[in-house]
Amino acid sequence: MDNKVIVFDTTLRDGEQSPGASMNAAEKLRLAMQLEKLGVDVIEAGFPASSPGDFESVKMISKKMNRTRVAALARTSKDDIDQAWAAVCEAVRPRIHVFIATSDIHLQHKLKMTREELIKEAVAGVRYAKKFTDDVEFSTEDGTRSDRDFVSKVLEAVIDAGASTVNIPDTVGYALPEEFGELISYIRQHTGNIDKAVMSVHCHNDLGLATANTLAGLRAGARQAEVTINGIGERAGNTSLEEVVMALSTRKDLTDLSTSINTEEIYPTSRLVSMITGIVVQPNKAIVGANAFAHEAGIHQDGVLKNPMTYEIMKPEIIGLVSNKLVMGKHSGRHAFKARILELGYDLNQEELDRLFKKFKELADKRKEIVDEDIEVLVAEELLRGQDKYELDYLNVVSGTVAVPTATVKLRIDGEEVQGAGFGVGPIDATFNTIAKMAGTKSKLVRFSINAISGGTDAQGEVTVRLQENGLVALGRGADPDIFIASAKAYVNGLNRLEHLKKNPSLVSQARAL
């Protein structure tokens, strides 16, 4: 059996189902380009039938990918499959991913079908998809809570109908690793034609076992892993790409499995996803968390200085975490800036480059050193955002031991300048109160967090906010060396994302459609 694992990234589809993680078209394209650079084998770009916006972004990504397979998700209906094909047909390597649930719970309560009817439906869906492309994947949603003999029967039928990949999802993150590994072995042994398809695993992290289950599935014979960057996704998220890839490479002695991932792109990709979605990576997150390579205990530091192998099982450089980063500053010229931008993987036109260089110079006037993360923040703020309803033009805050915290704000709302002022218990509260009043928002601020992007008191502050309105959740982020400005930017970004969700209810219904 081949020991190469196919990495199927679903950050743009299942990952986007994380509460508040909606991305605009430019952000999705930027991420898809980075995923190609990372070396994933398949990008699941979206669920075209769920919304016109999703359809368009899958189409756009399909046209731009040079070598990566692009998959589009579809239920078994002809309409879903037609839309999936119309969205991916221009990809160099298109895939249609058809799914239907196989557990009795779903059959009785959601699909209201008998097992026999379900097999017919699944086969019809795969046959129909097969008319368009040879690359058809089939998923048994809620596979781990389904009768295993029934799953084998369904898979045998869909492989006969032409499915070339069969995926067994742990949709609700219910399985334990040993059990999941056994399920994959069982299905391999009891599905007569299984050698005609690649077996795939897709795990959710409700019990914190997604990576362990995925590894158990791979060791039992699956050869495709469905993953997301930073493990983002529905509820507690999906299996994280970086954990599976680094576990396989660090413990190759035991697994003898490998991937085509360019591991040095792991950290930049993780940063990009966090920046675009506003979902902060927890500091103790394996592989990409801020503390993943930080040694705090004196005895550990001493050991690492003497020989990193004492306490480090991976070198930080392997995932692209470089400590001797190229630092830029106010004397860096346009040429050096352009070269750095290219090295970071951004292919910008002259107008975008000029706009960004101006912002870079403004930032360099405030700070001595600009590192890659700062440049990425500039790109995300300046170039990846679409047409926003609200723009922050001006902020002035007064605070101190005797002053009443006051904020004066100028916003542009749909292009019109609006000014306002207000108070609060602190300067950030004053800023948010003022912006909320000016925007007339009914949203509630349910989370506020602040981090320093790099070391030093002149570091950029990175603020993330979570806003909620009528069941909609949006994350906003902003960065600036001034934390009040960073906070205002994050709040305005959150409000823009809420507007985006209100205008694209399908982004919410995509999750509900599943």
DSSP assignment of 389-429 equals: SEEEEEEEEE-SSSSPPEEEEEEEETTEEEEEEEE-SSHHH
Q: Which is nearer to ligand KIV, 318 or 511 (CB)?
A: 511
Give the residue, chosen from 9, 12, 14, 41, that forms a contact with ligand KIV under the rule CB under 6 A: 14
Q: Which is nearer to ligand KIV, 145 or 295 (CB)?
A: 145
Q: Which amino acid is at 207?
A: L
Would you count residue 14 as binding Zn ion (CB under 5 A)? yes
Would you count residue 180 as binding ligand KIV (CB under 6 A)? no
Would you count residue 171 as binding ligand KIV (CB under 6 A)? yes
H helical segments located in 162-208: 177-190
Give the residue, chosen from 8, 55, 85, 99, that forms a contact with ligand KIV under the rule CB under 6 A: 99
What's the sign of the alpha-carbon dihedral 49, 53, 55, 61?
A: negative
3-state secondary structure 1-28: CCCECEEEECCCCCHHHCCCCCCCHHHH
Would you count residue 15 as binding ligand KIV (CB under 6 A)? no
Q: Which is nearer to ligand KIV, 263 or 277 (CB)?
A: 277
Q: Which of the choices Zn ion, ligand KIV, none does residue 106 contact, using the CB cut-off of 5 to 8 A by kind?
A: none
Give the residue, chosen from 139, 191, 200, 214, that forms a contact with ligand KIV under the rule CB under 6 A: 139
- Between residue 140 and residue 159, which ones bind ligand KIV under the rule CB under 6 A? 141
Would you count residue 169 as binding ligand KIV (CB under 6 A)? yes
Is 287:266 a contact under the CB 8 Å cutoff?
A: yes
Q: Which is nearer to ligand KIV, 125 or 481 (CB)?
A: 125
> Could you say which DSSP state residue 280 is in?
P
- Between residue 358 and residue 397, which ones bind Zn ion under the rule CB under 5 A? none
* Residues binding ligand KIV: number (CB under 6 A): 9
Q: Which is nearer to ligand KIV, 48 or 169 (CB)?
A: 169
| Closest separation in Å from C-beta 510 to Zn ion | 12
Residue 327: partners with Cβ closer than 8 Å, 6 or more residues away: 369, 370, 371
Q: Which is nearer to Zn ion, 196 or 235 (CB)?
A: 235
Q: Which is nearer to ligand KIV, 171 or 230 (CB)?
A: 171
Residue 431: partners with Cβ closer than 8 Å, 6 or more residues away: 395, 397, 407, 409, 424, 484, 487, 488, 491
Of 12-20, 43-51, 67-75, 320-328, the window that binds Zn ion (rule: CB under 5 A) is 12-20
Q: Which amino acid is at 344?
A: L
Q: Which two tokens stand for residue 377?
A: 């923040």
H helical segments located in 169-318: 177-190, 210-219, 241-250, 252-255, 266-277, 298-306
Question: 347: closest CA among 339, 355, 336, 359?
Answer: 339
| Closest separation in Å from C-beta 498 to Zn ion | 25
| Closest separation in Å from C-beta 14 to ligand KIV | 5
Site string for ligand KIV, 192-231 (x = CB under 6 A): ----------x-x---------------------------
Q: Which two tokens stand for residue 482?
A: 């001034």
Cα–Cα dist 413/417, whole Å: 6
Q: Which is nearer to Zn ion, 41 or 374 (CB)?
A: 41
Cα–Cα dist 163/150, whole Å: 17
Footprint of ligand KIV (CB under 6 A): 14, 99, 139, 141, 169, 171, 202, 204, 514
Summarize as ranges the residues that interact with Zn ion (CB under 5 A): 14
